[in-house]
Amino acid sequence: MNVALGYALLPWIIISSTALVIMLFTAIKRDHRYTSLMTSLGLFIALIVQIMQIGVVEQHHELFIIDGMTTLLSALLILVSLLLSFLLHPWLQNLNDPKEEYYMLFLLATQGALVVCASSHFGSFFLGLELMSLSLVPMVAYKDNDQIALEAGIKYLILSAIASAFMLFAMAIIYFYSGTLDIREIINHFPRTANSSNIIYSTAISLLLVGVAFKLSLAPCHLWVADLFEGAPLPTTALLATLSKAAIFVVLIRLFSEGEWHNQTGVITIISIIAAASMLIGNFLALLQKNMLRLLAYSSIAHFGYILLAILAIKPSLPLTSTTSLASEAAIYYLIAYLITVVGTFAILTLLTNNKHSYPLTIDCLKGLFWVKPSYALALVFLFLSLAGIPLTVGFVGKFYLTLAAVNGQLWWLLAILVIGSIAGLFYYLRLILTMMEKQTDSTLLINTSSSLTSHFILSFVIVMVIGLGVFPDGLAQVIVELVS
């Protein structure tokens, strides 16, 4: 390994070394506080190094690509993990089970997401994906005295294994057909030889899409996600909603940016149907939910359906403008907006909920929040407005970006579905806001009358990011444009 490659992989080395140090430290002496500090410190150092590499490091390896887009999105994934790591100590403090192993699994899941994000080879992609998935399975079922969590863990283990089997079978067919697992070579090979009547190629792509749709909980492979969100511990749910999905979407963005996919009408049709179904099913099922976590689960289905519009518009057959990077920029911007907003939402819910009790987190639990903890309620208002796409929030800028990309690609019927889904989404987000404004003398949700330094930092950071990037989006947009182009 040369020096340049070692520097490019330094964030990975730091995170992996932190997990190894925690494992050795735990074998000698269990100390929850020091383990939490080591986890956050390791992620913070990795984040600093990753930020320093943005736009500077350029490494093309057989198994991975580290370029401007990879370093930016890797920094975002590490930031998400760092914010969530601040919440682990207060949440695990009330848990009677051993706590240190959770931090090791947390770091390994982050490492797997980074490998997936940078992968340019199906071998590295699958290894990173399984490292992330197999770390998440015990994190879902970590509360061994909770029957719902154990059931969610078993569901995720079985369904994740089935999805991985589909993807492995697809990779085997692709290797048989093309003689390589390098994604760039496969993309260059297929447009010259594939056609609509090629059964082998169509089968491989279909199997691969099934696996990806499950990992992203896109319709019709979405039935597991609500049960998993409801049963898993809140920090694990936050990781599932953000890190695991974002890493796979980075690969999709790179995949569609390099290939001539608009010539593959079958693939485009399948993804268009998945996007439309995800936007409609996600939003309209969210309307029916009384459980807060199930609502956020179905909402995530709709949001990743939105991002698929940008994926479809990356290289349209009949673009209105000659801009080639607009759709990639839109997908990355919306992904960043979604991650910031969802991490903030789960962070506040984690700070509010009581880990000592196993009552369901229903929408009614938010009643009276504005009158008891106005700062928390105000932050949630901004977050819900951002998810709904209301102006002056980062969510509005992201959705506006998506609309521009879809118009450029002339995806008119998908745009109509986006509008319908957004109206439905606005309804249930406003319902959550009105619920917080209602007066209620008692509350089953709130347990802390005082606020910690961590909660103040998270609340301030969330509000600054959501409102700051919504009012002044130009800085982030310019960074994305420079890195993508």
pLDDT tens per residue across span 185-201: 777 766 554 454 467 77
- Are 167 and 207 a contacting pair, CB within 8 Å? yes
CA–centroid distance for 443 within its chain: 31
Alpha helices in 94-144 (DSSP H): 100-118, 122-140
Q: Which residues of the chain have pLDDT under 70?
A: 1, 189-198, 259-263, 315-324, 354-359, 440-452, 485
Task: Encode 308-337: b = buried (16+ Cβ within 10 Å), e = exposed.
Answer: bbbbbbbbbeebeeeeebbbbbbbbbbbbb
> Residue 285 has which token pair?
């099922």
- Prediction pTM value: 0.89
What share of residues in the chain are helix, strand, coil (percent, to 5)? 75, 0, 20
User: Average pLDDT over the chain, rounded to whole?
Assistant: 82
Give the span between the Cα atoms of 157 and 176, in whole angstroms.
Answer: 28
Give the span between the Cα atoms of 216 and 304, in whole angstroms.
Answer: 8
Give the span between the Cα atoms of 365 and 440, in whole angstroms.
Answer: 10
CA-closest candidate to residue 444, choices 369, 384, 388, 380? 369
Tally the residues of the chain: 485
Count of CB atoms situated within 10 Å of the CB of 94:
11
CA-closest candidate to residue 457, choices 308, 351, 339? 351
CA-closest candidate to residue 92, choices 106, 112, 81? 106
Predicted local distance difference test score (pLDDT) of residue 112: 92
**Three-state DSSP class for residue 294:** helix
Predicted local distance difference test score (pLDDT) of residue 78: 92
Predicted local distance difference test score (pLDDT) of residue 194: 47
Give the span between the Cα atoms of 158 and 330, in whole angstroms.
Answer: 34
Positive or negative torsion for Cα 180, 184, 185, 190 = positive
DSSP 182: B
59, containing H or E segment: strand 59-60
Predicted local distance difference test score (pLDDT) of residue 216: 84
Half-sphere exposure of 89 (CA within 13 A, CB side): 18
Give 359's contacts (C-beta < 8 A, 6+ positions apart): 444
Positive or negative torsion for Cα 423, 425, 427, 433 = negative
Give 150's contacts (C-beta < 8 A, 6+ positions apart): 141, 144
Give the span between the Cα atoms of 125 and 171, in whole angstroms.
Answer: 11
As beta bridge partners, residue 119 has: 64
Q: What angle, 0 to 180 degrees and rounded to 10, lies between the N-to-C axes of helices 265-287 and 199-215?
A: 20
CA-closest candidate to residue 412, choices 284, 292, 276? 276
Give the span between the Cα atoms of 137 and 114, in whole angstroms.
Answer: 18
Predicted local distance difference test score (pLDDT) of residue 18: 92
Give the span between the Cα atoms of 353 and 401, in whole angstroms.
Answer: 35
Alpha helices in 368-411 (DSSP H): 369-372, 374-388, 394-408
Predicted local distance difference test score (pLDDT) of residue 48: 93
Give the span between the Cα atoms of 172 and 182, in whole angstroms.
Answer: 13
Give 428's contacts (C-beta < 8 A, 6+ positions apart): 283, 286, 287, 289, 295, 299
